[in-house]
Structure formats: C-alpha cells, structure tokens
Homo-oligomer: A and B are copies of this chain.
Amino acid sequence: MSSRIRTDLAIEAEPLFRSKPSHPESLPGLRCREETRRGFSVSTVEVLDERGEAAVGKPKGRYITLELGALLRREENSFAEACALLAEELRSLLHLPDISSILVAGLGNRDITPDAVGPIAVDNLMVTRHLRSALPEYFGSFRSVCGLCSGVLGTTGIESGEIIAAVCRKVKPAAVIAVDALASRCTERLCRTVQLSDTGIVPGSGVGNARLALNEETLGVPVIAVGVPTVVDAATLAYDLIKDSGLEIDASQLASGAGLIVTPRDIDKNVRDISKLIGYGLNMALHDDLSIEDIDMFLS
C-alpha cells in the first residue's frame, strides 16, 4: 500500500510521518532537527547514506521545511519575516560567492492553478542579468539573475529538463534554483509550507507527472530545489484518514480517488500569495540588503 502514498516532502516519508511523537533522530542514516526561527518552525532532515535514502525514498542531501502557518494568522510583519527566513535558509544551501550568477527555473503549468507556483514565483523575481550591462551605474553591483519558465511537456513537446539543460549550457550560471509545486499528505501544509533542498528536483512530481531530474548530474551545476505543497492526492488522504482511525484498508478500496486532488477552497489566492513569498525570498537571498519596499518598487 505504501507505494500509493504520494508526498514530495522528506518530513512526510513514512517512518518520519508515523514516528512523530517518538524520536526520529534515532533512525539510522538520518539526522533530524526542529527549531523555531523568526517565529516559524524549521525542520531539517539530513539524508546521510543509503539507509537514509531507503527510509525516506529521497537522495542524500539536506531537506529544510519551513512551516509558515503564522502567515495566516496575519501577525505583524510576518510576510517580511518569512521572506527573510526563506532568504537565510536559501543562502545556507547556496553558499556561493557574491559574484556568481544564478538561473531560477519556474517549473509547472501556469494555467493549472495548483501547478503554477514556479511561474508565479518567477513573476516576482528581480531579473538583473540584462540590466548589469545595460544600466551598469544602477545594476553593476547586483548579482546576475535570470529566470526561465520552461512550460510543461504537454504544451511544448519538450521536457522541462531538456529546455533548462540547454539554456544552462548557454547562460552558464553558477547554480540553478528550481521552484515547483509539490504534493503533501497533510492538508494543513497546503500552501503554507516550503521545502528547500540541495539535491535538485524532479519536475511535475507534485501533480503526478514525474519527468527528468534536474540536479547537479544533469545540469552540471548545483541545483537548489524550492517546493511548495499545493495538493494532497485524494487516495493518499483517504488512506491516511482511515489509518488514523485505527482501521485497516486495502488498496483497491481507494481506486475511486485516482486522478483526484484535494486542495483548499481558496487555492487560487493561496497559490498567488505563497508564490509571491517565494519570489521575494529569492530576491533577498540573491541580492544584499533589500527591503520589501525595494522589491515592490523594482517589480512595479
């Protein structure tokens, strides 16, 4: 049955998901920790070796999950704090010299709301690559950042991975940051959680159409993944609801959930808001000393 579980979050991998009350740190091959920073919960899962990879079903590397639920409570200044937190965590994964250039890839389909996180995040990106030479007096000291929405296989006929690899070879960034929608198994996490990792990403996994991986091996440069869960697979939800009830269930009973997703009622607005947060957090990570107002003005 567990093969039917769909989640892209490391912290939701079966052993971590079920062991919440106990001590996940004791799992072999994994190192986990949880802390509160700037008022938000930050969980880190490090997959250390093959045992860890087997346990969470993800490659070796660091997975940082920010829980931004506080945003919803509209606490004073929480948007700015969340952007700053995202920027700090991104910098900790990127650790690049100031001068290096970055390509941000917005994965997913702009026309399908729960899949539009990547494109909308890129809409909120301060793109500077062309300005450094055109307006050196203003932008000469900015990092070179470019953005690319590669579309989806169904409408381009080309894998996202092929397009990004091709452009990467041309533009030669020092690293790629890939933004995508994810699947979660917890409805409370939808549009409220951001997972960062230094292991790259498989585009489209959030909406069930897994494609070629984007990672250091395929692109030749480090790939930082930034993902936001926007859907819960309906069959996964039903499975978890039933398990939580202490009941047994067999797989065939969930067939009717195939192809269905669970979203918040106000998914359109939620996706827009969290994608803007991603874009602003990226800007703060990639350029120094920016305020929210600076970004507003640049993008307006």
From the candidates B127, B158, B273, B300, name the one contacting A171 in the complex (CB within 8 A).
B158
What's the dominant secondary structure at chain A's contact region?
helix
Chain B residues positioned under 8 Å from A170 (CB to CB): 158, 162-163, 165-166
CA distance A113 to B265 in the complex (A): 10
CA distance A127 to B249 in the complex (A): 41
Answer yes or no: A221 CB below 8 A from chain B CBs. no
Instruction: Given A167-B163, A266-B112, check contact A127 B155 (CB 8 Å).
Output: yes
**A186 CB to closest chain B CB, in angstroms?**
9
Answer yes or no: A128 CB below 8 A from chain B CBs. yes
CA distance A156 to B119 in the complex (A): 11
Answer yes or no: A135 CB below 8 A from chain B CBs. no
Is A260 in contact with B187, judged by CB distance below 8 angstroms? yes
In the complex, chain A residues 117-168 whose Cβ is within 8 Å of any chain B Cβ: 122-123, 127-131, 144-149, 151, 153-159, 162-163, 165-167
- Report how many copies the assembly holds: 4
**A27 CB to closest chain B CB, in angstroms?**
26
Chain B residues positioned under 8 Å from A122 (CB to CB): 155
Is A262 in contact with B234, judged by CB distance below 8 angstroms? yes
Is B264 in contact with A262, judged by CB distance below 8 angstroms? no
Is A127 in contact with B156, judged by CB distance below 8 angstroms? yes
From the candidates B129, B155, B244, name the one contacting A157 in the complex (CB within 8 A).
B129
From the candidates B130, B165, B237, B267, name the one contacting A238 in the complex (CB within 8 A).
B237
Is A162 in contact with B171, judged by CB distance below 8 angstroms? yes
Answer yes or no: A261 CB below 8 A from chain B CBs. yes
Chain B residues positioned under 8 Å from A153 (CB to CB): 130
From the candidates B131, B144, B171, B207, name the one contacting A265 in the complex (CB within 8 A).
B207
Residues of A within 8 A of B (CB): 74, 111-113, 122-123, 127-131, 144-149, 151, 153-159, 162-163, 165-167, 169-171, 187-188, 207-208, 232, 234, 237-238, 241-242, 244-245, 247, 249, 253-254, 256-257, 259-269, 273, 297, 300
